A = this chain, B = another copy of it.
């Protein structure tokens, strides 16, 4: 009943060449090791490609950018990597509220919630994953926050404090399952958290 293996396309799922899945996994493994060893800024697509024994152009074709490769290596979908930094765009008076909404969306949207959970559990139990998360925060969160708030003293401290506070809330709500947090809807959480986050982010 099955097609003979030599018929064109018979054993090739969705147009991938034979061996491509193996190559993709080798690239992700090389990326995880490089990001952990060299940090986000120090790891390059060229080095990762060399580690995986493939051409850099192939890594670009698979993932598009270093950001997307990092997200894939940490099992985060690409939209997770930009959702929080996007929240920093727009009116400064409402940046706290936008950050709260972005965190809640990130941890409840089915496309991002499960990968975030994997990422978080990795980072609190594994030093390699923690190192990757640290370099991501340095290179992505801070590099977007600081130029937008050039006059804010303690900018890195403020941005990482606000992010950590919100991480704690989603961990308490989605992982530990604290009842009063689970029972609260997004609007109740936004109403209580947005002024606090705003106050930490912007003097």
Q: Is A78 an interface residue (CB 8 A)?
A: no
Size band of the interface chain A makes with B: 35 or more
Q: Is A28 an interface residue (CB 8 A)?
A: no
Contact A195 B188 (CB under 8 A): no
Copies of this chain, tallied across the complex: 2
Main SS of chain A's interface residues? helix
Q: Which candidate, A15-23, A82-90, A171-179, is the interface stretch facing chain B?
A: A171-179
Taking a contact as CB atoms closer than 8 A, the residue among B179, B188, B200 that contacts A192 in the complex is: B200
Q: Which candidate, A4-12, A43-51, A63-71, A152-160, is the interface stretch facing chain B?
A: A152-160
Residue of B nearest to A156 (CB): B180
Contact B192 A158 (CB under 8 A): yes
A168-203 vs B: 1/0 string, CB under 8 Å?
A: 110111011111110110001100110111011000
A129-143 vs B: 1/0 string, CB under 8 Å?
A: 010011001100010
Residue of B nearest to A131 (CB): B177
**Chain B residues, Cβ within 8 Å of A178:** 134, 137, 160, 164
**Chain B residues, Cβ within 8 Å of A172:** 160, 163-164, 167
Given the known inter-chain contacts A165-B196, A166-B168, A195-B199, please indicate yes or no for A176 contacting B138, CB distance below 8 A: no
Contact surface of A with B, Cβ cutoff 8 Å: 120-121, 123-125, 130, 133-134, 137-138, 142, 154, 156-161, 163-169, 171-173, 175-181, 183-184, 188-189, 192-193, 195-197, 199-200
